[in-house]
Amino acid sequence: MDDLNAQVWAVDALGALAHETRLAVFRMLVKAGPEGMIAGAIAEQLRVPPSTMSHHLATLERAGLVQSERESRLIHYRADYPGMRRLLMFLMQDCCQGAPEMCGELFADLSCNAP
């Protein structure tokens, strides 16, 4: 992917996350892990009407940050980890000006057990 296409995609992905509900959904799905959650449970937990939640989930899916899978009458959503990695790599690709130790603290601060 060339730089212009990557930038256009990143703007779309960041735009999808630039909404309080969608950011909360994305973080919830990342926390849920590969198993994800059904749409109704997401809407209920965030106290958002199902039709509104469908719109938010579709926006995140179009942005490449969420994947869906139909299971009978339910739609199961999970974070798209390759999409998340792609966005993080785009944001960090020019970091450190050739000195990766400059970004070491950032990664040290990340913890899968953080509250």
pLDDT tens, residue by residue, 100-111: 677 767 666 666
Q: What share of the chain in percent tops pLDDT 90?
A: 68
pLDDT tens, residue by residue, 56-98: 999 999 999 999 999 899 999 999 999 999 998 888 877 777 6
Domains and CATH numbers, the chain: 3-109 (1.10.10.10)
Residue 43: predicted pLDDT: 97
Average pLDDT for the chain: 88
Residue 115: predicted pLDDT: 47
Cβ(50)–Cβ(43) under 8 Å?
yes
Q: What is the CA radius of gyration of the chain?
A: 16
d(CA 14, CA 94) in angstroms, rounded, equals 18
pTM of the model: 0.84
